[in-house]
Structure 1
Amino acid sequence: MQDTIAVLIPCYNEAVTIGKVVDDFKRVLPEADIYVYDNNSSDGTASIARDRGAIVRHESRQGKGNVVRQMFRDIDADYYIMVDGDDTYPAESARDLLAPLMDGSADMTVGDRLSNGSYGEENDRAFHGFGNNLVRWLIKAIYGYGFDDVMTGYRAFTRSFVKTMPVLSTGFQIETEISIHAVDKGWRVVDVPIEYRDRPEGSESKLSTFGDGAKVLMAITSLCKDYRPFVFFGLFALVFFVLGLIVGLPVVYEFFQTSYVTKFPSALLAVGLVCCGMLSITAATILDTVAKAHRKQWELEVYRVMKDQSN
């Protein structure tokens, strides 16, 4: 039997571009099912997509993360392509994204806009490049994996990846969440360079540079706490211990010099800081054990999904 492919297009007010996006993917991937998930659009996006032959569904909870969560729940396929409906990503790269999945060398592929410089040439919005680089650096520092492009909205996945992906984000943090999940769970990731093009005239981005950027940073912090609790709470412990030493060393020095302690407030503060550090280390150890147990259960769930797929 031929492998099934689903193209997933989350949309909010993309009437200017959605028709062309659907047409392009139907031309490049005629065997694929094209799903457009309309997220309360008010400009006729859903009608245009339906007229072009897409399967249109509606998600009432506002936010891209909510849309992606429902798409992953609803759609059954062997391979998935997720792409924005703003016509900034070329449909011609779809087979390049699918190839590593189909030959078994990857579980997720990422449409990389940065390596060839096309994003920098086409996108002139201030701080977007800086934000992408900052998120890439944080993921590299925490998880040890360097993505070429973290915030891209053009990706492809295997069925086992999609059906074991716990989507928690509600908004534009979803790309960061997917990237961190892939690295934390040891999925095989391949970056595929693509040619990026900016939105056509009349099409407007819904991304708030600072508002959504702050949400992305908060998502990284929250996911670090959940996925890497020893690192997260260990940093707090280190800060408390260092501050305790800074405050307490003069007290200890005074005691050795005079056999007296006159700086009682400093002594109490130093003891309190060291105790907070010890509590942080204790919390880090306990939560790290819980996270490892959760990871074991997740691995078993992956085995079950892969077995069901093979049957």
Structure 2
Amino acid sequence: MSDFTFDDVAVVMGTYNEEEAIGGVLADIDRVTDGRAEVVCVDGSDDRTPDIARGMGATVIEQEPQGYGVAVREAVLTPDRPIVVTTDCDDTYPMERLPDFLDRINQGYDVVSGDRISPGPETMPLLNRLGNRAFAALASLFLGQRFHDVTTGMRAYRRELLHRIEWTENTGLSAELLMRPAARNYRVAELQIEYDERAGETKLDPFRGGAAIAKSICRIGIEERFDTSLDAVTTTDTVERT
């Protein structure tokens, strides 16, 4: 079977009032993939974000604002291309690493997850850094395998996996998108990535959002550990650190 190329890749994101950053993110995707990757934005903005995205060739799906997970779930399930890459629209994630994510998929991994935490991101506020470490520790406890960053927004997935699993979370969707595949023995790789200072203002309350993410991790962990009706994949060597 031939390796996947950027002609097989869709880069997707939920967007909400990110007119300061969206143009730079889309320009980076276009540059790194030579314009070959499809881009899908699920947007609930009331600023110029969707107009900028359309003007730069992205497919924009307009949606009433219902939270992070609702938008991203729509985004990951929309493309027809076999590889789906998620990112945030605030210019924090390194689009120049897209080839590395695709390489890991071509090595046989089902999910490639960007690890922002291990490199010690100086641009991430200390409270966020501590919270993300705590989320990873909690998820690792439930899963019985060590993860360093379960709330990252940059991942690559095989499309069939995304359509096989039922996604239930909103604020905690980022953790769910890693935990359920890992619990069901899909092959998962963590890839250390750089993390830049965001452009624009954050929309997430760190305390309310953090509590919602922790609750989601506990719910997912309990479901995956004790619900024997959930589908699983039989494989070995499920987690790689790079």
TM-score (norm 1): 0.70
- Bigger helix fraction: 1
Distance 1:223 1:162 in 2: 16
Among the aligned pairs, what percent are the same residue? 32
Gaps of 5+ in 2: 235-242
Greater gyration radius = 1
The answer to whether the 8 A contact 1:135-1:150 is kept is: yes
Contact kept in structure 1, 2:114 and 2:149, CA below 8 Å: yes
Q: Which residue of 2 aligns with 1:34?
A: 39
Match of 1:150 in 2: 150
Identify the residue that residue 115 of structure 1 maps to in structure 2. Answer: 118
Cα separation, 2, equivalents of 1:82 and 1:88: 13
> Counting strand residues as a fraction of each chain, which structure ranks higher?
2
SS of 1:152's equivalent in the other structure is: coil
Q: Secondary structure at the match of 1:191?
A: strand
What is the alpha-carbon distance in structure 2 between the residues aligned to residue 133 and residue 199 of structure 1?
19
Which residue number corresponds to residue 208 of structure 1? Answer: 205
Number of residue-to-residue matches in the alignment: 229
Are the equivalent residues in 2 in contact too, given 1:112–1:193 (CA < 8 A)? yes
Query: What is the CA deviation profile of residues 253-293 of structure 1, one whole-angstrom value per residue up to 9, with x for unaligned ones?
Result: xxxxxxxxxxxxxxxxxxxxxxxxxxxxxxxxxxxxxx223
| Structure 2 contact 116–192 (Cα < 8 Å) conserved | yes
Cα pair 1:26 1:34 within 8 Å, conserved: no
Q: Which has the higher contact order (CA 8 A, sep 6+)?
A: 2
Q: Which residues in structure 2 correspond to 1:1-311 (within 5 Å)?
A: 4-29=8-33, 30-38=35-43, 40-104=44-108, 106-117=109-120, 119=121, 121-123=122-124, 125-171=125-171, 173-200=172-199, 203-229=200-226, 291-295=227-231
Shift in Å at residue 112 of structure 1? 1.2
- Per-residue CA deviation, residues 77-104 of structure 1 (Å, 9 max, x unaligned), is 1111100000001110011111111232
Cα distance in 2, alignment partners of residues 72 and 110 from structure 1 = 15
Q: Distance in 2 between the 1:69 and 1:199 partners?
A: 22
TM-score (norm 2): 0.89
CA shift for structure 1 position 126 = 4.1
In structure 1, distance between residues paired with 2:229 and 2:66: 33
| Cα distance in 2 for residues equivalent to 1:113 and 1:225 | 26
Q: Measure how far apart 1:61 and its partner are.
A: 4.8
**Matched letter for residue 177 of structure 2:** I
Inter-partner Cα distance in structure 2 for 1:20 and 1:72: 21
- Extract unaligned runs of 5+ from structure 1: 230-290, 301-311
Root-mean-square deviation (CA, aligned residues, Å) is: 1.8
Answer whether contact 2:113 2:156 (CA < 8 A) is retained.
Answer: yes
Q: Check whether the contact 2:142–2:222 (CA below 8 A) recurs between aligned residues.
A: no
